[in-house]
């Protein structure tokens, strides 16, 4: 079969792949985007509860995790959040800041996908979906054989992401191809994932499923103060998802269930002003009622707060401010928002995302060992790394 010829073939019609295609197409390159899915931008569509947290107002490199913390600096400094915001505004997509610089569409994530596809059309990008790749090789050019045709190009871009959210069709395809061409892969594991527990801690969490509270969660030197959510399997919510990217099995977490409060002082004040109140009622002054009830029961607190001495209140306050828990695991790639690790950055150019050993081979987005915090950072890495490669292919 005679192959169809292009300047560049991008495998993956997600955020990074589409941005790369747009950028290259605008430079006059003949670009083909291939994807095994029947729809472009499937992960974009489910992101942010369907409203797509498409970037963050700030994207400093220290909010990205990588074996090489300096690698992301070049791409992030050359295609910044303001650049993507300008594209969103060009397409008259209405958006808002939710919290901590996180930007969401007022309407639907479909607007972001429609914007990207419209830009692809304007840049004359050829997008072919529903193509299963059967063979990939390189001689003079990269040759991609699929169940629907054969394609060749001087440049090949891996933009298929990592294995997080397999129900959306995510796989480790990019890693397999990278290994085929001799690129190294760092340790790969789930990131931004709910944490699970066993034993007494699990039994504590189960009845509280659905209860949310603001908390400061710490693992080692890293800490996040955001919402915490109890689940039937353990803990979730933004603070837990954030810390999960830093947590390793066997480590404990320190949780402050009353950030900004002085529980000891507040409990003593309530003992003075409302001596007949039960301990759980006093706790409910700064905790959700169901959580206050469970904390009181866990600490064996019964009866009126007037009967509790300073020592007991100090111990209770200490538990609230530094509750130590040890997760048994996480909910894995099925619930992880992104993948930690990926193609080793030591083998890639930070300026172009091109392989140092295989000219013409590029790796972008989540497939690379660069993982952002929760809050639009991973999308910004997709836009920035896709743009950087698109400037080069």
Are 154 and 243 within one domain? no
Q: What pLDDT sits at residue 15?
A: 98
Kindly state the average pLDDT of the residues 179-206: 97
Are 310 and 173 within one domain? no
| CB neighbour class for 340 (10 Å; exposed up to 12, middle 13-18, buried from 19) | buried
Q: What pLDDT sits at residue 279?
A: 86
List pLDDT tens digits, range 252-274.
999 999 999 999 999 999 899 99
Are 20 and 95 within one domain? yes
Are 172 and 47 within one domain? yes
Q: Where in the sequence is the domain holding 281, given as residue range(s)?
A: 194-330
List pLDDT tens digits, range 89-106.
999 999 999 999 999 999
* Res 1 pLDDT > 80: no
SS3 (DSSP) at 225? strand
Are 70 and 163 within one domain? yes
59-62 long-range contacts (CB < 8 A, ≥24 apart) are 59/372, 59/376, 59/377, 59/380, 59/381, 59/384
User: Which DSSP symbol is given to 373?
Assistant: P
- Domain end, chosen from 311, 330, 349, is at 330
Are 165 and 84 within one domain? yes
Q: Which residues contact 378 (CB under 8 A, 6 or more apart)?
A: 337, 338, 366, 371, 372
Number of domains in the chain: 2
Are 29 and 175 within one domain? yes
Packing angle of the helix pair 81-90, 110-122 (nearest 10 deg)? 90
Are 213 and 326 within one domain? yes
d(CA 95, CA 381): 19
Are 185 and 220 within one domain? no
Count other Cβ atoms within 10 Å, centred on residue 92.
Answer: 8
The CATH code of the domain that includes 120 is 3.50.50.60
List pLDDT tens digits, range 274-329.
999 898 898 998 899 999 999 999 888 888 888 889 998 998 999 999 999 999 99
Are 224 and 342 within one domain? no
Q: Is the dihedral of CA 226, 228, 229, 232 positive or negative?
A: positive
The CATH code of the domain that includes 307 is 2.40.30.10
List pLDDT tens digits, range 34-77.
999 999 999 999 999 999 999 999 999 999 999 999 999 999 99
Kindly state the average pLDDT of the residues 217-237: 98
Are 47 and 31 within one domain? yes
d(CA 15, CA 270): 53
Query: Structure pTM?
Result: 0.95
Are 109 and 245 within one domain? no
Average pLDDT, the chain: 96
First to last CA, the chain: 26
């Amino acid at each position: 079969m005679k192959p169809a010829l292009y300047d560049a073939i991008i495998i993956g019609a997600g955020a990074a792949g589409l941005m790369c295609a747009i950028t290259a197409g605008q430079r006059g390159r003949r670009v083909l985007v291939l994807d095994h899915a029947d729809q472009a931008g499937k992960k974009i569509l489910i992101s942010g509860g369907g409203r797509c947290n498409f970037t963050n107002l700030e994207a400093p490199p220290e909010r990205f995790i990588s074996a090489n913390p300096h690698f992301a600096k070049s791409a992030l400094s050359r295609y910044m959040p303001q650049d993507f915001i300008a594209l969103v505004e060009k397409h008259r997509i209405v958006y808002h800041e939710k919290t901590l610089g996180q930007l969401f569409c007022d309407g639907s994530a479909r607007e972001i996908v429609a914007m990207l596809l419209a830009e692809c059309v304007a840049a004359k990008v050829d997008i072919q979906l529903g193509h299963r790749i059967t063979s990939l090789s390189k001689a003079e050019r990269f040759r991609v054989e699929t169940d629907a045709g054969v394609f060749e190009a001087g440049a090949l871009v891996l933009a298929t992401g990592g294995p997080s959210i397999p129900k959306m069709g995510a796989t480790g395809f990019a890693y397999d191809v990278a290994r085929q061409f001799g690129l190294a892969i760092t340790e790969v594991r789930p990131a931004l994932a709910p944490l699970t527990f066993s034993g007494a801690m699990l039994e504590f969490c189960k009845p509280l499923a659905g209860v949310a509270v603001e908390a400061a969660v710490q693992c080692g030197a890293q800490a996040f103060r955001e919402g915490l959510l109890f689940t039937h399997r353990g803990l979730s919510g933004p603070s837990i998802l954030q810390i999960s990217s830093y947590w390793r099995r066997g480590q404990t977490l320190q949780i402050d269930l009353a950030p900004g409060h002085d529980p000891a002082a507040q409990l003593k004040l309530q003992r003075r002003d409302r001596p007949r109140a039960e301990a759980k009622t006093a706790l409910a002054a700064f905790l959700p009622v169901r959580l206050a009830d469970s904390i009181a029961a866990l600490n064996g607190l019964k009866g009126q707060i007037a009967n509790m001495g300073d020592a007991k209140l100090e111990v209770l306050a200490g538990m609230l401010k530094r509750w130590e828990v040890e997760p048994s695991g996480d909910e894995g790639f099925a619930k992880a928002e992104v993948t930690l690790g990926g193609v080793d950055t030591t083998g890639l150019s930070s300026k172009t995302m091109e392989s140092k050993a295989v000219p013409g081979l590029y790796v972008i987005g989540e497939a690379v060992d660069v993982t952002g915090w929760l809050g639009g950072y991973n999308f910004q890495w997709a836009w920035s790394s896709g743009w950087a490669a698109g400037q080069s292919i």
